[in-house]
Structure 1
Amino acid sequence: MTNNKELNRLIHEKLSYLLQHAYNSVDWYPWGEEAFAKAKEEDKPIFLFIDYSTCH
């Protein structure tokens, strides 16, 4: 992964399954008041992304 990509808000999370999406081009918000306030301000629904990863 290159470091020249812009980071999103998930870079501040502690959980590895959230951190792996910190370089994702989607402007993800972690679950919390900031996400709800933004959705309300823009009159948009919340898109809940539930990721699953496993090690074999």
Structure 2
Amino acid sequence: MSSEKQVDPVIADAVGNISNRFGVQGLADLIALAREELARAESALQELEDLDEG
């Protein structure tokens, strides 16, 4: 996996393991779930920032 940004080896291994075990569909599922989790995390962060401002 090559990227300009350094990725934690645990994350890179997890993605590689999904790819090796489940193939393209597994990667697509992983991306979909990660997008959902990212939206939840960003929302929670925004709520915390709003509380800090209030």
State the TM-score, normalized to the length of structure 1.
Answer: 0.25
Q: What's the TM-score, normalizing by structure 2? A: 0.26
- Which structure's relative contact order is higher, taking Cα pairs within 8 Å and 6+ residues apart? 1
Considering only CA atoms, is the larger Rg found in Structure 1 or Structure 2? 2
